[in-house]
Structure 1
Amino acid sequence: MQPSSSNTGFFQQQPIIRNQFHDDVSLQRITKLFLPSSVLDQTSSEISQLADDVLSQQVFDWITDAEHSQPYLRGGGRDAFGKPTNELVVTEGWRRLQDLGFQKGVIAVNYDSDYGPFNRLAQFIRCHLWEGSCANTLCPAAMQDGAARLLQRHLSRKSGLSPIERKVFQNAYDHLTSRDPAKAWTSGQWMTERTGGSDVSQTETVATYDPYPDPSAAPLADVDEKTPLGPWSVSGFKWFSSATDSQMTILLAKTDPSKGVSAFLAPMRRHNPSLVSATGVAGGSELNGITIQRLKHKFGTQSLPTAELELKNMRAWLIGEEGKGIYEISTILTITRVHTTVSSVGYLGRSLGVAKGFAAVREVGVGRGRRLPLSSHPLHMRTLANLTIDYHGLMLLVYYTVFLLGLSEKLPTAANARTETAPPHPLTPPARLVGPLLRALSSLHKSYVAHTAVPLIYTAMQSLGGVGYLLNEESQHINIARLFRDACVSAIWEGTTDVLAGDTIRAIKHPRDGEDVLKGLTWVVETGLDFVGGGDGGKAGWVAGVRRAWGEVKGRLEREAQGELLPDARAVVFRVAEVLLAVLYMVDAAVRPGAEIEEMCRRYLVEKAFAQDAKGVGKKDVAMDQAIVYGAGKVPGQGAAGVKL
């Protein structure tokens, strides 16, 4: 026997993380379930290349740089002589990752592609793959996406904008949807103040209409000197503002106490001809009436600059009508909430990929000198199989919501029917129910998925043992701890779990629209159960169990007033989510049947008490667990688990 040393003895073989577009069994099923074959054929090559690129060593080095060199205020916010400078510095790695996202079109693809109602699916599959490697650059990108959609909606109208407003909005939209890093913008979304997070009714930021005497001589925005600054002067304090390095922002402010809040577009910077550079060049840019008070020190998302901002005479443009800010910002919120849930399942998918790679190369003792790779260990594979089943359920709910978002923006017409060479998803709702369904699911799916994903990511982290708890910056590709830390915020921003559960109840009990919302949810459940049918004894029991559970929760929603439901909102909304997941699971298994998906569906229904675990039903051996985790016929071989030097 030879003693080990720091450089000799056993060294664990590094896990291999494979191209997730091909290796992630759930993502493969999702793409084939929701995307027509014509769209999949057009996009597969580009998406596959993205899945390779996000796992490159260069990208992992940029992640490490973004984590190590976190954003800061130069000089603590002052120059050498004590004058306020307000200069935010972000890392090179952050900028490079952001540029790569622009180039890969993770936002632009929704605006410069022609896949009809499937644009959003083609986009968010990219985001899913990018999330684990983007070092939080998808946060400002999400707000970029929401701002682009909001401006697109206003620009599509033939009236309502003055010529100068149309020019300003169009200029911003063109930048927000560009793939050119030299031209592309991100956007902030400033709502949160000290008076509350999601509750903006007590907003203390004030906007005053104060147009320049000669609009043609108005100062220019620095980001594009062809567009003037707006006629509104905005002052106040924003408590939690991400994307501080963006080129523009959408924010809320009050114009009149009796009108509620209004929405505004403002450039982040403005041109100041009186500034002088260090080399004596006259003219330069400064923040547009913004003072960065301090940067937030957060548990996660540390590479993302998040700040407290004081606004004094920030010049801005009104979006829509005064007092309609909640309506306007809801367009952005629907999109950013979907981005948040895609990030949750993106983190989870990457974490599961790492866990699968580790299980393939790590051996453990199983008694009497025998050793097994974790990929053949019955307990370990049962844990990963259960994790995979929960992951796939969340994926089904997230991507059904993405599907609805795409339908809401581009309902199928004769013009885009050419993209639909495959039958539509069995749960494609009638046009009249798309809006009400999205109204409910935008809150419901974010409340449920973002909360549920966090402990699942922790399970994947735990599956690596002690090494899973390390930050592993020297082996960034297996750094689940970073993913877990960053994923925790998803259940907080864009509305906490409780806030969005309450919002879902309000949508269902709304005196004007609530009836249609509940009709939409009922349509999904009943149509899905009718599609599944349940001809054989086992599936008939599944259908009956889900229908019974839906009847119970629907009865509460119909019977009880909003105030009665509110204390139990989380439990009620989570049960609705579980019913929807059960229906989506059964539809998935019916559309593309197979032993693995049927067993996953069965186990999910048993876990959530929709069905009983009848003796002798289902396959619970290690081979089935391996097939669920890795895919049928793709269980990794039992090679050497390490090297000895």
Structure 2
Amino acid sequence: MTTTAATSPLASAPSATTHTVTNQPPPLTGHDAAADPVLLEGVEREGAGWHLEDLHRLGRVVGGEEAQHWADQANRHEPELRTHDRYGNRIDEVEFHPAYHRLMDLSVGEGLAGAAWADGRPGAHVARAGGFMLATTLEAGHLCPVSMTYAVVPALRHAPELAAVYEPLLTSRSYDPGLRAPAGKRGLLAGMGMTEKQGGSDVRANTTTATELPDGTWRLRGHKWFTSAPMNDLFLVLAQAPGGLSCFLVPRVLPDGGRNTFRIQRLKDKLGNRSNASSEPEFDDTVAWLVGAEGKGVRTIIDMVTMTRLDCVLGSAGGIRAALAQAAHHARHRSAFGARLIDQPLMRNVLADLALESEAATTLGLRLAGAADRARLGDEGERAFLRLATAVGKYWVCKRQPAAVAEALECLGGNGYDEASGMPRMYREAPLNSIWEGSGNVSALDLLRALAREPEALEAFRTEVDAAAGGDARLDAAWTGLQGELRLTEDAPLRARRVAERAALVLQGSLLVRHAPAAVADAFCASRLAGDQGLAFGTLPPGTDFAGLLTRLPA
């Protein structure tokens, strides 16, 4: 029998309806990423209220579909190393996807690199910190060269004649990629080369050598193990001089336009931070200029490291906030068991707890930025506070980011495990800031060094915490206990992480008691200081003002 179209069972089959999409959140695009009360209040409180309009403008770019596409593309199309040209000449260049350059142009143009150092207004570094956190919300990898360019300026000032040449270009808002003579560019980017394969954080074990020539320049020979952003224009590099470990300025291109020797052996294949190139350069008769005193390399470059550590705190706070924004957006639009997720009691607990963590991290990060701003204007008390509080913040906020991002990812369920959601990229980025610029152990031990060598730093920290005295009995009790922990004993290195953690929580508690709504301060003291918290997020106790905490979610 012949089957005709009219009699075929397939011809009468109903149209497929299996792919109707319901109960899925819309993309989190087309919004103002700066619509976050915690961020806005902190920026204004720390002295940069004049920047809020610009912050909203950047927030609309960050929240836009186009910029989010740049972020995705810059991570999917990773940097590629070109060691030689077609003729066999050594070129040592890294090629980036155009999306990476769009991100760099945005952040440098917004003044997130060195521009704050050329801005005499009080609050300039706070304004920059707020923008840096928004840019982290968009994409973290491109901010590595942005951060190092910001941080190099105070270290380079140890060589005033070099600072006079390069600082005007390091503080420029012009992104001008490509290896050319620095004087012919509209703006410069900087990096650093500290660690070597045999030493890591123990930079005094470095074997790179420096030899002085009669003309006052130096020649470096050796290697570095982890030097990010190798297409930057300038690098501060540690090397062993006759007088000891010293700091040197190494340009990729010499003043006469010739290429300096900067052989890139390979790019690192990293867990995250995929848009950013991290390399292993080797120096061989590489031209360099001494920065600071010979034999005082660590003391010189620590001015750069201090500022990159501040950016680690800001970056982790921004990463927590970005993940929270995605989780909150999902919960507002997704329903399960007859109600929206954000109305389910247990999900409200999780989101409120994440909001609490985010507010504490953001408030501390912006307080540190405020201290940095006031220190550069001559406030020695703020400088002393920054010395100890940066180590504390670097340790704790960066440690909290992986746990917070993992919990936020879980709020999306299987959708959060899908690369298209963007959450896996956030999760891969999350451990980074705790490792870069000094791992957790380095930060905790740095706290001990500050306590032992700089009593003014402890006094400034004490003044800061005491400003909230009497505001919450749980905070007062935690501060009393911490002061006992701060007394240095033979087992202090063994306890260093505990001391850093408690110091961070007490400092955050003091800030929130003074500046946050009562619902936030009460929940923080109950869960973080009085010990009534489980090991996972979402364990805030009954009686918590969940509605009050959820009003602090980013839009």
Superposition TM-score, scaled by structure 1 size: 0.77
- Counterparts of 1:596-615 in structure 2, within 5 Å, are 597-610=517-530
The equivalent position to 2:307 in structure 1, one of 335, 338, 348, is 335
Following the alignment from structure 1 to structure 2, what is the Cα–Cα distance between the partners of residues 289 and 109?
29
The equivalent position to 1:352 in structure 2, one of 324, 328, 334, is 324
1:302, distance to aligned residue in structure 2 (A): 1.0
Contact 2:355 2:549 in 1 (8 A): no
The equivalent position to 1:188 in structure 2, one of 180, 191, 197, is 191
The equivalent position to 1:516 in structure 2, one of 456, 460, 468, is 456
Q: Structure 1 stretch 496-505 or stretch 176-185: which is displaced more?
A: 176-185
Q: RMSD over aligned Cα, in angstroms?
A: 2.4
Following the alignment from structure 1 to structure 2, what is the Cα–Cα distance between the partners of residues 375 and 11?
14
Matched residue, 2:156 = 151
The equivalent position to 2:418 in structure 1, one of 447, 452, 470, is 470
SS in 2 for 1:455: helix
Structure 1's 31 and 149: CA in aligned 2 closer, same or farther, altered over 3 A?
Answer: same
Between the two proteins, what is the percent identity of the paired residues?
26
Following the alignment from structure 1 to structure 2, what is the Cα–Cα distance between the partners of residues 106 and 321?
29
- Counterparts of 1:182-261 in structure 2, within 5 Å, are 182=176, 183-212=186-215, 231-256=217-242, 259-261=243-245
- Return the letter of the residue paired with 1:322: E
- Counterparts of 1:72-471 in structure 2, within 5 Å, are 72-74=80-82, 77-80=83-86, 84-116=90-122, 118-152=123-157, 154-155=159-160, 166=161, 168-182=162-176, 183-212=186-215, 231-256=217-242, 259-270=243-254, 285-286=258-259, 288-365=260-337, 371-411=338-378, 431-471=379-419
Following the alignment from structure 1 to structure 2, what is the Cα–Cα distance between the partners of residues 555 and 90?
52
1:496-522, CA deviations, whole angstroms, 9 ceiling, x for partnerless residues?
A: 011110110121022xx2x22222222
Following the alignment from structure 1 to structure 2, what is the Cα–Cα distance between the partners of residues 382 and 340?
28
Contact 1:294 1:307 in 2 (8 A): yes
Structure 1's 8 and 392: CA in aligned 2 closer, same or farther, altered over 3 A?
Answer: closer
Matched residue, 1:484 = 427
Structure 1's 6 and 143: CA in aligned 2 closer, same or farther, altered over 3 A?
Answer: farther
Report how many residues are paired.
Answer: 526
1:20-46, CA deviations, whole angstroms, 9 ceiling, x for partnerless residues?
A: 322x232133123322xxx41x32221
1:248, distance to aligned residue in structure 2 (A): 0.9
The equivalent position to 2:37 in structure 1, one of 19, 25, 33, is 25
Structure 1's 564 and 373: CA in aligned 2 closer, same or farther, altered over 3 A?
Answer: same
Matched residue, 2:553 = 629
- Return the letter of the residue paired with 1:516: E
Structure 1's 620 and 582: CA in aligned 2 closer, same or farther, altered over 3 A?
Answer: closer
Asked if 1:498 corresponds to 2:426, the answer is: no
1:121-160, CA deviations, whole angstroms, 9 ceiling, x for partnerless residues?
A: 11100111111224511111111011123234653xxxxx
1:422-471, CA deviations, whole angstroms, 9 ceiling, x for partnerless residues?
A: xxxxxxxxx44323222111211101110112211111111111111111
Which structure ranks higher in relative contact order (CA pairs < 8 Å, sequence separation ≥ 6)?
1
Matched residue, 1:69 = 77
The equivalent position to 2:55 in structure 1, one of 47, 51, 64, is 47
The equivalent position to 1:579 in structure 2, one of 492, 499, 506, is 506
Following the alignment from structure 1 to structure 2, what is the Cα–Cα distance between the partners of residues 144 and 82?
32
1:207, distance to aligned residue in structure 2 (A): 0.6
Matched residue, 1:537 = none
Following the alignment from structure 1 to structure 2, what is the Cα–Cα distance between the partners of residues 526 and 61?
46
Following the alignment from structure 2 to structure 1, what is the Cα–Cα distance between the partners of residues 131 and 529?
34
Contact 2:62 2:134 in 1 (8 A): yes
Q: Structure 1 stretch 103-112 or stretch 353-362: which is displaced more?
A: 103-112
SS in 2 for 1:382: helix
Contact 2:23 2:333 in 1 (8 A): no
Contact 1:73 1:86 in 2 (8 A): yes
Following the alignment from structure 2 to structure 1, what is the Cα–Cα distance between the partners of residues 466 and 128?
29
Following the alignment from structure 1 to structure 2, what is the Cα–Cα distance between the partners of residues 585 and 469?
33
Matched residue, 2:480 = 551
Following the alignment from structure 1 to structure 2, what is the Cα–Cα distance between the partners of residues 9 and 325?
60
Contact 1:290 1:314 in 2 (8 A): yes
Structure 1's 609 and 61: CA in aligned 2 closer, same or farther, altered over 3 A?
Answer: closer
Structure 1's 383 and 11: CA in aligned 2 closer, same or farther, altered over 3 A?
Answer: closer
Structure 1's 332 and 567: CA in aligned 2 closer, same or farther, altered over 3 A?
Answer: same
- Return the letter of the residue paired with 1:12: Q
1:612, distance to aligned residue in structure 2 (A): 7.3
SS in 1 for 2:145: helix
Asked if 1:58 corresponds to 2:66, the answer is: yes
SS in 1 for 2:360: helix
- Return the letter of the residue paired with 2:148: M
- Return the letter of the residue paired with 2:449: R
